[in-house]
Structure 1
Amino acid sequence: MQSYGPLFYSTGLAVRSTGTGPALVLLHGGSGSRTHWARNVPELASSFQVITLDLPGFGESARPSQEMPVSDYLAWVAHAVRLAVGEREFHLVGFSFGGAVAAGVSALLASNGRAPTRLSLLSPAGFGPPAGRSIALEKVKGIDPADARVLREATARNLGRWMLAREPDPQDLAIDIHLRNVDLARFDSRQVSHQASLVDHVRTANVPTQVLLGQEDPLIFPSLQERIDLLRHALPSARVEVIEGAGHWLAYEASDTINQTIRQFHL
């Protein structure tokens, strides 16, 4: 997997930077890492200085305690972001759990006059616990890691049920990314993503905001139209767009569209 620039640490979080231009910070989803942006960093780096963080408890970053308050978790990320970008203006993008984190970080930084210039939220969490949502996944923890074929096939089926609109080939890069990220995950992202916080945080941040939703995202509950209606009512100034034919992991599955859309919104 690509490194996306040299590794350095900011308050215990693994950070990488590559490219030139306006600073664009990318925050990954739950059970993830910077590798969630595998199909985006090389393209976006032609227009931005792309900064990827492994959030606390994921990838190569330090692990928070499970008792850490969400407010402290967000403050940790906000501090790391500001150290990574310095005094420059910057743009912020968050995916899923990282979308909820990005909104919270934006709200915190806004209180100090340091909010991002623009904010993009891809398939964001932060709408409260999805009570009643049911997605049947296969158990993979009991599969012998030595039986790579069975493990990859089961993982592909699962990704096709909750992360992607279509089941990927078992040899797809998405399988490698997901398996490695799950092995490294040491924090329950639901502590953040299941809070009903996103709308209030975006309002507090008060910056131009773009929300991108996958037309076939099974994690949007109870329905895509209800989510669209909620966002357009609660955040009338936000730009809400639906990506046709895509599931939850928009940045991977619809990378060309996402790269173009992010570039257009942030430049």
Structure 2
Amino acid sequence: MVSSVVETKLSDWKFLGHSVHSLSIIPEAHKTKTDEEKGPAILLIHGFGASTTHWRYNLPVLGKKYEVHALDLLGFGKSSKPSGLAYGGPLWKDQIVAYVKEKIGRPTILVGNSLGGYAALASGAAMGPEAAGVVLLNAAGYFSEDKKTTKGTWATARKTVAGIFLKNALLQRIIFENLRQPSTIKRTLNQVYIDTSNVDDELVEAIRKPSLDKGAFNVFKSVFDPAGPQGKPLDELFSQLKAPLLLLWGNRDPWMNAPGKRATYKKHTPTNTKEVVLDAGHCPHDEVPDQVNSALLEWINQL
């Protein structure tokens, strides 16, 4: 699926001594251009349980004009899944910042979906002028106002049930084993894609196979541990962000109230933020890739 006009490379880069899987595409024309003539590089960052494969319809298109990279966050895809790491936003932010510095070496546009969207925003806020732009596709994360203490019997009951789950290794294992079954993966994807045409065996296998790796279960537990590192709230990151911001919304996302989320974003995002609303679910880059590629390229060309 990669265009013949681009060159695709696998990377053997490591972060904190752990192997990180990544792909890069360099347009042939870039070999004779200066960095200024090339324009910004692009780094694609997947969501929870996904990998570089989730950018299968974006990499070859973006790579025709721009240097484009995609990586597997530690704990996912073909990257290492070591025990002992505190999996969460701070770890992945540091991984992304290091990758841009060591592997790309020039201003980069960070593009992230879901969990990867939060990581892209946190990285962009930390990188200052080295972040040429940030693009969020149905990004995960919380606002400061979401953390206000909720009182009442129901809130206490939910907290108690969650605590029991987090302390019960058997329950955790049962849920994990169910989540990585091909039938469960496909059913979940069919729920979060409005148009399920691209929910195919390749995508299901790309999610299932890494879940069989040693350490995958520990990653699952760590990510959902409320005592783990959550990173800064979105409003704080937006206030620190200096780079241009593009919001690409799958407006029929069943995992989040996208219209409501958009309203909250508007209260905190910079005034020059560009917003594009798409008739899609949680993963618009894979569900309606032509629309996402077009919107992304148009925005980059105007920077």
Q: TM-score w.r.t. structure 2 length?
A: 0.71
Contact 1:157 1:167 in 2 (8 A): no
Match of 2:289 in 1: 255
Match of 1:123 in 2: 138
Match of 1:83 in 2: 102
Flag structure 1 segments of 5+ consecutive residues without an equivalent. Answer: 133-138, 146-150
Match of 1:180 in 2: 209
Deviation at 1:213, TM superposition (A): 1.2
Q: Say if 1:171 and 1:219 are closer, same or farther in 2 by CA, change over 3 A.
A: closer
1:206 aligned residue (224, 242, 245): 242
Task: Look up the SS of the partner of 1:58 in the other structure.
Answer: coil
Residue type at the aligned position of 1:14: H
Contact 1:24 1:93 in 2 (8 A): yes
Question: What is the 5 A alignment of 1:96-175?
Answer: 96-110=114-128, 113-114=129-130, 116-127=131-142, 141=177, 152-161=182-191, 163-167=192-196, 171-175=200-204
Q: Which has the larger share of helix?
A: 2
Contact 1:152 1:171 in 2 (8 A): no
2:11 aligned residue (7, 14, 26): 7
Question: What is the 5 A alignment of 1:19-38?
Answer: 19-20=26-27, 21=38, 22-38=40-56
Q: Deviations over 1:160-204 (max 9, x none)?
A: 12x312445874433232223444556344568966622321321
Q: Deviations over 1:68-87 (max 9, x none)?
A: 6743442233112211111x
Contact 2:41 2:104 in 1 (8 A): yes
Residue type at the aligned position of 1:99: G
Give the Cα–Cα distance (whole angstroms) in 2 for the partners of residues 225 and 69 of structure 1. Answer: 26
Deviation at 1:154, TM superposition (A): 4.2
For this pair of structures, how many residues does the alignment match? 248
Q: Say if 1:199 and 1:47 are closer, same or farther in 2 by CA, change over 3 A.
A: farther
Q: Say if 1:152 and 1:166 are closer, same or farther in 2 by CA, change over 3 A.
A: farther
CA RMSD of aligned residues (A): 3.2
Give the Cα–Cα distance (whole angstroms) in 1 for the partners of residues 266 and 48 of structure 2. Answer: 25
Task: Look up the SS of the partner of 1:141 in the other structure.
Answer: helix
Match of 2:278 in 1: 243
Q: Say if 1:180 and 1:4 are closer, same or farther in 2 by CA, change over 3 A.
A: farther
Give the Cα–Cα distance (whole angstroms) in 1 for the partners of residues 275 and 205 of structure 2. Answer: 31
Q: Say if 1:182 and 1:199 are closer, same or farther in 2 by CA, change over 3 A.
A: farther
Residue type at the aligned position of 1:124: A
Structure 1 or 2, whichever has the larger Rg, is: 2
Give the Cα–Cα distance (whole angstroms) in 1 for the partners of residues 62 and 182 of structure 2. Answer: 29
Deviation at 1:140, TM superposition (A): 8.4
Match of 2:86 in 1: 67
Give the Cα–Cα distance (whole angstroms) in 1 for the partners of residues 229 and 289 of structure 2. Answer: 23
Q: TM-score w.r.t. structure 1 length?
A: 0.79
Paired-residue identity, %: 23
Flag structure 2 segments of 5+ consecutive residues without an equivalent. Answer: 28-37, 148-154, 159-174
